[in-house]
Amino acid sequence: MPQLIKIAGGTVYDPANGIDGEVRDIWFRGGTIVEPPGDQSAKPDRTIDGSGLVVMPGGVDMHCHIAGPKVNVARKLRCDERRSPEAVLARGRGTRSGSLGSVPSTFATAYKYAGLGYTAAFDAAVPPLGARQAHQELADTPSIDKGFYVLVGNNHYLMEQIAKGEPQQVEAYLAWLLTSTKAYAPKLVNPGGVETWKQRGAGHSTGLDDQVPHFRITPRQIIGGITRAANALGLPHPAHIHCNQLGMPGNWRTTLETMQAVEGQRAHLTHIQFHSYGGGDGEEATLDSQVAPLADYINSHPNLSVDVGQVMFGNTTSMTGDGPLGYYLRNIYGDRWYSADTECEAGCGVMPIEYKNKNLVHALQWAIGLEWYLQVDNPWQVVMSTDHPNGGSFLAYPEIIRLLMDRTYRRDIIATCPAGLRQRTELADMDREYTLGEIAIITRAGPARLLGLASKGHLGPGADADITVYTPSDNQAEMFELPRLVFKGGELLVEQGEIRTAVVGQTLHVAPHYDTDRLVDLPDWFNERYSIHFENFAIAET
């Protein structure tokens, strides 16, 4: 029988079970949290002294880019970042070597997530045709549980069926697609807008009611059709939406319309920071924060949730399934540009990017991100993310926690930004400070619930023994960047920055039930349009 282990006397933050900083014992055996034995004299096989330490469930990153074709191209593109000895990880006992930079190698990604106390992470944008590569990369990403969302917002079959008014066909195909690619959730990226870019090139508007050429459909219809199908299938995370017009001044209206377009159904809007801009007509100089009206809508619509996509100052790499956005950024930054279209499915843009605190637009993006955390009343509806590596690395999470928990520190950073910031955001006047319990929600309990991961993000009996133990500090960034202990499935992964084991995590995916008879024509449809054979599409191998 596996060992019975007790973490004794830690200060436990387990918001899913209503525990907000109580001194308690956590018991686990064989990878699962168990009830404390009723018999007071029962002894564990091993006791870990948690007194004076903070105990939380393992972190869950619900939106990052860690695997798949565009991530790997970004690694190739950014070899320039990894030339210094600080940018590499040496191999160790039982661990592989790797390299860091804004887009770390797979093994390094896993060890760094584990080292941060995160035990699950989800890549947010894999084209269906890239699924096989994404699985290969995730197989080389040990330690943590992981998965990916598959791109559907510009999928030819879905657009045709939605245009025809065939909701059951949309459902069957969506279920088939998730099953075939072994994906965890459907992801919409600039719905309809990527297809428009493929047909018309740059500079065409893709507001919610603009027609997608040839397909006779609008982004609004795509959003509605896929969100309905995903909810009808009962998917654990029905719709993960990257709205149209990312980064464009004045895009907040499109974001608000998107929130309305899901018609009260469950949906998640991702990296919302990039979609909350006032100003007009592509004029960057007019940019300002429009978080308030959008956060108001979230606050009154419990069906909706967001992750932030926080921008942090420094060098990073932008990567997106939004091809036209890539070209837009290329024209702003003028550095190396990678663009790739994937047949029948998606686009892709990758480029180096630097966010500078002295740049008013960048400072405003940073502030808008923080506003989002501070303006959503219910922390269960807002999730921490940097859209790694787009806004910054996931390694910045401890720093974001400090910015949220310490308003004095937050104001110190605001003071380094251009004075014009004050006219465009109310961040400096916001007094709210997050508590540790609220941090536990936005970094683990909340994302786990939004992903429908019943055994993650909490410490109740039956939960996975994914546990992070921190040493408290007045400097919250220091507290969160170097956990005392990290357990994954009951195994000690990391102890004070030292990797103890690199157990193989699972790749999580869904396999919803659907009516296979509805898809009898799909092989012919597929073989007429794709450059690969239908039978080679589904992932058979593990």
Partner 1 sequence: MSPTLTTCTACGATCDDILLEMREGRVAQAKKACPSGEAWFATPVAEQAAMALIDGQPVALDGTLDDAIAQAEKILTQARHPLVTGLKQATTEAIRAAIALADNTGACIDWTTSAADASATLALQTVGAVTATLGEVAQRADLVVLWGSDLATTHPRHFERYSLEPSSAWLPNGRADRTLIVVDDHPTATAERADVFIQISPGSDYEALTTLRFLGTAAGRASSDAPNELQDLAARMATASYGAVIYGARLAADGPESLAELTQLMADLTATTRFVAIGEGGPGNATGAASALTWQTGFPLGVSLAKGYPEYGPGEWTTEALLRRREVDAVMIVADDLNMQVSSEALAPLGSLPTIALDWRDTETTRQATVAFRVARPGVETGGTTYRCDGIVLPLRGAVDTSRPSAESILQEIAERLSKNQD
Q: Which residues bind partner 1 (CB under 8 A)?
A: 67, 69, 72-73, 75-77, 79-80, 82-83, 85, 88-91, 96-101, 104-108, 129-130, 132-133, 136-137, 140, 197-199, 201-202, 214, 327, 330, 336-344, 350-351, 529-533, 535-536, 540-541
Query: What does the alpha-carbon distance between residue 477 and residue 135 come to, in Å, rounded to a whole number?
Result: 33
In terms of CB distance, is 99 or 231 closer to partner 1?
99
Shortest separation between residue 385's beta carbon and partner 1, angstroms: 22
Which C-beta is closer to partner 1: that of 356 or that of 529? 529
Helical packing angle, 360-375 and 291-299, nearest 10°: 20
- Identify which of residues 395 and 413 has a Cβ nearer to partner 1 in the complex: 395
Which of 235, 283, 312, 270 is CA-nearest to residue 508? 235
Judge residue 462's burial from the number of C-beta atoms within 10 Å of its C-beta, 0-12 exposed, 13-18 middle, 19 or more buried: exposed
Least distance (Å) from partner 1 to the CB of residue 292? 36
Beta carbon nearer to partner 1, 107 or 149 = 107
CB of 501 vs partner 1, minimal distance in Å: 15
Distance CA(389)–CA(179), nearest Å, equals 27
| Distance (Å, whole) CA 184 – CA 506 | 12
Q: Which amino acid is at 357?
A: N
Task: For residue 48, give the 3-state DSSP assignment.
Answer: strand
User: What single-letter amino acid sits at 8?
Assistant: A
Minimum CB–partner distance for residue 410 and partner 1 (Å): 34
Give the nearer residue to partner 1 in terms of CB position, either 147 or 447. Answer: 147
CA 238/CA 452 separation, integer angstroms: 10
Which residue's CB is nearer to partner 1, number 135 or number 410?
135
- Spatial contact of 340 and 76, defined as CB atoms under 8 Å apart: no
Bond before 389 cis per omega within 30 degrees: yes
Whose Cβ is closer to partner 1: residue 204's or residue 356's?
204
Task: Tell the smallest beta-carbon distance from residue 529 to partner 1 (Å).
Answer: 7
Q: State in angstroms the smallest separation of the CB of 163 from partner 1.
A: 13
In sequence order, the 6+-apart residues with CB closer than 8 A to the CB of 7 are 25, 26, 48, 50, 55, 467, 469
Report the residue number, 300 or 531, with the smaller CB distance to partner 1. 531
Name the residue among 391, 401, 379, 410 with its Cα closest to residue 468. Answer: 401
Tell me the closest approach of the beta carbon of residue 308 to partner 1, in angstroms.
27
- In the bound state with partner 1, the residue whose beta carbon lies nearer, of 54 and 126, is 126
CA 126 to CA 345: how far, in whole Å? 10
Q: Residue 194: which of 338, 348, 64, 336 has the closest Cα?
A: 348
Q: Report d(CA 442, CA 477) in Å as an integer.
A: 15
CA separation for the pair 261, 506 (Å, rounded): 34
The smaller minimum CB distance to partner 1, of residues 222 and 287, is found at 222
Q: Considering the complex, what minimum distance in angstroms separates the CB of residue 259 from partner 1?
A: 31
Per the structure block, which two tokens stand in for 57?
């469930």
Which amino acid, residue 247? Answer: G
Tokens of 376: 């959503």
Q: How far is the CB of 37 from partner 1 (least distance, A)?
A: 37
Report CA 272 to chain centroid distance, whole Å.
Answer: 11
Closest separation in Å from C-beta 131 to partner 1: 9
